[in-house]
Amino acid sequence: MMQRCLELARRALGRTAPNPLVGAVIVKDGAIIGEGFHPQAGQPHAEVFALREAGDRARGATLYVNLEPCNHHGRTPPCSEAVVAAGLAKVVVGMVDPNPKVAGGGIARLQAAGIEVVTGVEAAACQELNEAFVHRILYHRPFGILKYAMTLDGKIATNSGHSAWITGQAARAEVFQLRATCDAVIVGGNTVRLDNPLLTSRQVDGPHPLRVVMSRTLNLPEEAHLWQTAAAPTLVITEPGVKPEFQALLRHLGVEVVELSPLTPAQVMTYLYDRGFLSVLWECGGTLAAQAIADGAVQKVLAFIAPKIVGGSTAPSPVGDLGFLTMPQALPLEKLRWRPVGADLLVEGYLPQT
């Protein structure tokens, strides 16, 4: 049943920010009598949809939900009260809500009403599904994912900067899927100049992320796929007073322009946190990737590795200078996973949280 909750919750992937992904199932006499998920911030919570479907039959039933029911008046009234009012006998919870407004209060409220509560069911899967929400609540920053594609000899382009394509169709399709689950995707000016990327989640059923360009100089082409904002929204972040005429041109094309000082990955993440973002995908080149890592803006790394060798003594690699001189300084990836994606290999892991 908890797996079913996670499955329902996933239907809203990429659409709930700043809220978590939540699914709920109500069971009576071994049969599902109500289901729901939280579709979007401002909309009712998962439990409310499940309770509506179950109606009067909810009395004496068991509710499964991957996140502790809330106990606060936010954009919506507390789910704990709705669960009590519906007369449920038992609630099975995946994980405690780290939101300080909830943080065990929902569970306590249910128990005070005489409802049996079981917590920590499928806890690891529940934590992983909401890792971005948890990170946002604990660190006041969105969850950062660095994704790159490289050759087996560690290059993300040739000596001349050409990079289309390193990985095959299956890996690229997986990246579209990944973008649909993230609220923003960030590149630097160099990627716009060299790759002219689209950064959309085309070919998949899901929302496009906000496409973000960090550029200190605004030394960017007047024509780029990213300036076509009918496809998906674009935000350019630069420093105060840089090239006002170019800023005006971008705004005229429907591109949002924001000035931040100083223009660092840390500042950008704080800004995106304030905008309510849960997860941010770094699809940038090595220089910006290194700055993002150094700034603590990357929590998870997804490396697609293509079984090919391109060589090139000046060909770029995925992460630029981190200032490390000896191998023991290398950042160890934790909770490592790897699997084939078409002819390529995907290696995933987490950076140690500093």
CA distance 344 to 258: 37
Binding status of residue 22 toward ligand AOF by CB under 6 A? yes
The site that binds ligand AOF (CB under 6 A) totals a number of residues, namely 18
Binding status of residue 220 toward Zn ion by CB under 5 A? no
Q: How many CB atoms lie within 10 A of CB 191?
A: 20
CB of 102 to ligand AOF, least distance (A): 5
CA distance 294 to 32: 48
Site for Zn ion in 72-131 (CB under 5 A): 79
Residue 334 CB-density burial (10 A; 0-12 exposed, 13-18 middle, 19+ buried): exposed
Binding status of residue 46 toward ligand AOF by CB under 6 A? yes
Binding status of residue 70 toward Zn ion by CB under 5 A? yes
The residue whose two tokens read 């790897």 is 338
Binding status of residue 97 toward ligand AOF by CB under 6 A? yes
**Residue 206 interacts with, from ligand AOF, Zn ion, none (CB under 5-8 Å by kind):** none
Nearest-CA neighbor of 20 among 177, 128, 172? 128
Torsion angle in degrees (nearest 10) through CA of 75, 141, 270, 346:
-120
Nearest-CA neighbor of 186 among 170, 174, 176, 197? 197
Q: Which of 7, 35, 47, 222 is catalytic?
A: 47
- Residue number with CB closer to ligand AOF (75 or 216): 75
Binding status of residue 174 toward ligand AOF by CB under 6 A? no
Annotated catalytic residue 47: yes
Site for ligand AOF in 55-74 (CB under 6 A): 67, 69-70, 74
Point out which residues bind ligand AOF (CB under 6 A). 19-20, 22, 38, 41, 45-47, 67, 69-70, 74-76, 79, 97, 99, 102
Q: Write out the catalytic residue numbers.
A: 47
